[in-house]
Amino acid sequence: MKIYTGSGDRGKTSLFSGERVPKDNERIEAYGDLDELNSVIGALIAALPRDWPDLHQDLQKIQSDLFHIGAWLATSPGAPAAESLAPLDLDGAAALERLIDRLDAALPPLTGFILPGGGPPAAWAHVARTVCRRAERRVVRLSADPLPPASAAQLSRAIVYLNRLSDCLFVLARHINRRQGIEDSLWKP
């Protein structure tokens, strides 16, 4: 199977809903950032110790959620193609909150700003966190346009999910460092 089709060689691509749009279209930018986030999370998973199946599983669930959100971002508001997409799961953000609470319970309280870094997997978690915030900003921008209620509801869920995911990735970075015996590096102004 060839991976290339060539139909985008002149700078256009197709949305899931069928429209041909320039590759710098705001929807392409949004799901492109989501794709980048997903890839960074993949790098994070690859950097995790193999004998941490709990986090492997949690992060792969997040990767799957991001694909689902990406499909919605690739669909124009009100397009017939939206009917073939499952609505975004309201429990997705709640599941992230449960994960945050589980990870945060064993962490010492924050006493200042933390310098992003530590061990390789924690550093990837910080990179993922910042890409997540960029993706969130893109989706917020999309939601600023007048939208049919059904599409607006999906974007709202995506924004809540990404907001929670960014927090989750921050806590995850601290959790990973602590689990690997690496202390937080506090910012010293």
Partner 1 sequence: MEAVSPTSSDPEAGNLFNTRIIARRRLSSKTVELALRKPPGFAFAPGQRVRLKLGPAARDYSIASAPADEAIRLCIREVEGGFLSPQLAGAPESAALTFTGPHGYFTFKASPRPAVFVATGTGVAPFHSMAASGVSGFTLLHGVEQAEDLYYLDFLQSRAAAYVACLSGTSPAPVAHHAGRVTGYIENHLPRRACDFYLCGRQDMIRDVTLLIDEGFQGSLVYSEAFY
Binding mask of the shown chain, residues 144 to 183, with x at each position contacting partner 1 by CB under 8 A: ----------------------------------------
Under rule CB under 8 A, residue 5 binds partner 1: yes
CB of 154 to partner 1, least distance (A): 14
Phi, psi of 130 (to 5 degrees): -75, -35
Query: DSSP secondary structure string, 46-88?
Result: HHS-TT-HHHHHHHHHHHHHHHHHHHHHTS-TT-GGGGGSPPP
**The one segment of 74-82, 95-103, 144-152, 172-180 that binds partner 1 by CB under 8 A:** 74-82
Instruction: Give 186's strand partners.
Output: 114
| Residue recorded with tokens 């950097």 | 47
Q: Scanning residues 79 to 118, which ones bind partner 1 (CB under 8 A)?
A: 79-81, 83-84, 86
Name residue 14's beta-bridge partners.
20
The residues near 163 (Cβ < 8 Å, ≥ 6 apart) are: 93, 136
Segment holding 158, helix H or strand E = helix 149-179
Q: How far is the CB of 139 from partner 1 (least distance, A)?
A: 18
Q: Does 6 bind partner 1 (CB under 8 A)?
A: yes
18 binds partner 1 (CB under 8 A): yes
Applying CB under 8 A, does 14 fall inside the site for partner 1? Answer: yes
Nearest to 176 by CA among 116, 92, 97: 116
Choice from 40, 44, 59, 70 touching partner 1 (CB under 8 A): 70
| 17 belongs to the binding site for partner 1 (CB under 8 A) | yes
Give the separation between CA 157 and CA 163, rounded to whole angstroms.
Answer: 10
Find the binder of partner 1 among 49, 64, 94, 98 (CB under 8 A): 64
The residues of the shown chain that bind partner 1, judged by CB under 8 A, are 1-2, 5-7, 9-10, 12, 14, 16-20, 64, 67-68, 70-71, 79-81, 83-84, 86
